[in-house]
Chains A and B, each alone.
Chain A
Amino acid sequence: MKSFFIAASITALLASPALAGKAFISNERGNTITVVNTETWEVEDEFFAGNRPRGITVSPDGSKIYVCASDDNLVRVFDANTYEELPSLPAGPDPEVFIIEPSGKRRYIANEDDNLGTVTDTETRTVLAEVPVGVEPEGMGMSPDAKWVVNTSETTNMAHFISTEDYKIYHNVLVDQRPRYAQYTADGSRLFVTSEIGGTVSVMDIAEDGAPTVVGKISFEVPGVQPEWLQPVGAKVTSDGKRLFVALGPANRVAVVDAQSLDVLDYILVGQRVWQLDFTPDEKYLLTTNGNSNDITVIDVAKEEAVRSVQVGEQPWGVVTID
């Protein structure tokens, strides 16, 4: 099993094989979601997604698209086929990122303004738990076995390991400044946490019981690019655990990292201010959102090179794909 989002998409494939391959891109400033066909790479549609849409994901059955409409304080829900808007989920102030566990039952959301991780029941829409975390909680990563949620706090600079059994924090690991994203490998044995201002990716090995051990830190270096602009944000690992791709924000590059040795192998030039990443479900392509050039870059995963870019809406932030 790969990352949770991909796993969810595979589930979607099995459940509803009629769906065509699509990528949904949230456009933070354009207030829309752009739908891109992942075979033809044509823009199929663009629809209103609420005010300041950022974090975007798909329901485990692949039928619904969820997006954090940050300025509406809502998670808006859309039908993945008709793009019709469904009843929204309450989200607390300024929701940015959230995850839904593979069973679809529980939702974990980072409430940046309240220093809380909130767990809600997706069916009854009730709050199950509020977990106090560090200042400005942002990134949310889930272990493949769904036993742990890792939340990163941007000003406290920690990765908080929250048990999904009792909603308690069992481990706090200090990382570099402004951690943005937490990504497990598909087998759950390793965790990567990106630090935007620190310019690094902290690497932790994960024991059977979920306990992390810091084993290294990846730094980046591109000739002709000021070190200050090498700002790691989004990250994805291939399902075989061999390659880590890291979006480097204003450096306009995606780093290709050997996920075992932690050697940085290459930098792929993409659009401007590259933010979040997602694989297509077959993992043939990696899509990047480029906030300042208003496009996505399509990277051929096997060749590790950019093959095309597709113009989307204004200031693309997040991307999720379905098959």
Chain B
Amino acid sequence: MQFRVSPLLAALFLMLTTGYAAAIDVRAAVIRVDYQSVLPISRYDLRPDDLGFAGAVLGDEDNGTTGSFLGHTYETRHVTTTPEEAEAALDAILSDGVSLIIILADRDDLLRLTDKAQESSALVFNAGTADVDVRDTECRGNLLHTVPSHAMTADAVAQFAVWKKWTDWFLVAGSNPQDEALADAYRRAAVKFGADITVDRTFEDTGGSRRTDSGHVLVHRQLPIFTQDADDHDVVIAADDTDYFGRYLTYHLWTPRPVMGSAGLRPISMHGAHEAWGATQFQTRFEEATGRRVRPEDYNVWLALRVIGEAVTRANTAEAQGVRDYALSDAFELAAFKGQKVTFRKWNGQLRQPILLYDGAITVSVSPQEGFLHQNSPLDTLGLDEPETNCTAFN
């Protein structure tokens, strides 16, 4: 048994019951860098105009309701920009004194903006980039990650496959650098959890039509040929971060096998049909506030704002340093509709969290899977663990 009264709790309690609470106006910003990109394979994957910002709308609403009892208000600015204008956009925000910044951008821009924010001692939340190195060799002390890394999502898929005893894999990687990086995450996951990649092939991105009629007519002939003469395998793992072939794989294989990864069973931080652990309430609130279903980017932004909200509510701080310190402290915990509390890894600023395995309609399973043990937290079986980290910015 344990019995303890935390002084912090007692102090907070006093403030609450006596009606005294320091008024705090919390100001944050979401910067989304938009890129020229080809259309997704599926029309369902078209990016809504308010992608990410919708999560901020709900985040402000949720934090604001709590804040109404404590004298705290929340206001989050939504900024869309281009890679060329991103720094100027960030400058404008920083010069207004906003020091809590959530960024949806590609790896290079994320790092560039994070370093710029550091000059003003601002704290950045990465809600968009899954690249492993920004949590590792390229990590930053003022950068926290609410979006899961490729290492976490690849491990989530690997654990499920191994739990199913589908340990012989056919890895199909795209040819773009992002696809190759994702494929590397699956190769590491296979070694980590004892799966064999019996076939490892790259499907070249030759451009061409994707969503038009000829798109599926072409792959109809290309993919069966591409996947024939493969050694025995239980499952096909797709590493298609740039979304040009993965969706077609499922029914165009030479040998019929389940597809996981970028198509078929996908590892994801949140989707609009997730209902377990009270998530139905999250979905209802999100849909009411934004008029559409939630996307992972929205959830990642919402998470970042909830982290800020917890720091403000429990540690009475909206300063960048104060929020960072509280988020990385033992006191921090957050309920995130995933059945257990989510917390930050102190060695690289990554939010540890369960990963949903989603088939396009339902939550099929949730990793970490049963039986994958860890000396500290089963969640640390997903992604880079402390002993293997190359990040020194948090020391």
Contacts and interface: CB of A to CB of B under 8 A. Distances in A.
Interface of A: 93-94, 112-113, 115, 132, 134-136, 153-158, 160, 169, 171-174, 176-178, 196-199, 211-219, 221, 226, 228-229, 250, 257, 261-265
17 contacts: A136-B281, A153-B66, A171-B17, A172-B17, A174-B9, A174-B12, A174-B16, A177-B335, A177-B341, A178-B335, A198-B333, A217-B3, A217-B4, A217-B9, A228-B377, A262-B1, A264-B1
Contact of A132 (B12, B68, B70, B377): B68
B259 to A, nearest CB: 30
A228 B69 contact: no
Interface in B46-65: 62, 65
Contacts of B40: none
B335 A156 contact: no
B327 to A, nearest CB: 14
Given A115-B65, A174-B313, A213-B13, A228 B340 contact: yes
Nearest to A265: B1
Contacts of B341: 177, 197-199, 228
A73 B42 CA distance: 36
B10 A214 contact: yes
Interface residues of B, number: 34
A228 B340 CA distance: 6
Contacts of A217: 2-6, 9
A140 to B, nearest CB: 16
Interface in B1-35: 1-6, 9-10, 12-13, 16-17
Interface in B298-354: 313-314, 333-335, 339-341
Interface of B: 1-6, 9-10, 12-13, 16-17, 62, 65-66, 68-70, 278, 280-281, 284-285, 288, 313-314, 333-335, 339-341, 377-378
B378 A228 contact: yes
A215 B378 CA distance: 32
8 tightest Cβ-Cβ pairs between the two chains A and B: A156-B66, A197-B335, A264-B1, A177-B335, A228-B340, A178-B335, A263-B1, A219-B2
B284 A113 contact: yes
A186 B361 CA distance: 47
A159 to B, nearest CB: 10
A293 to B, nearest CB: 17
Given A212-B17, A263-B3, A226 B335 contact: no
A262 B333 CA distance: 23
A176 B281 CA distance: 19
B62 A135 contact: yes
Contacts of A263: 1, 3
A80 B291 CA distance: 42
B101 to A, nearest CB: 23
B281 A174 contact: no
A234 B379 CA distance: 26
B295 to A, nearest CB: 20
B288 A262 contact: no
A177 B69 contact: no
Contact of B66 (A158, A169, A177, A211): A158
Contacts of A135: 62, 65-66, 285
Contacts of B10: 214
A306 to B, nearest CB: 21
Nearest to A261: B3
A215 B5 contact: yes
A173 B5 CA distance: 14
A218 B17 contact: no
Contacts of A265: 1
A214 B5 CA distance: 8
A94 B333 contact: no
Given A173-B17, A213-B13, A226 B378 contact: yes
B16 A156 contact: no
A156 B288 contact: no
Could you say which of B3, B12, B70, B285 has the most chain A C-beta atoms within 10 Å of its C-beta?
B3
A215 B10 CA distance: 9
Nearest to A202: B9
A109 to B, nearest CB: 15
Contacts of B9: 174, 214, 217
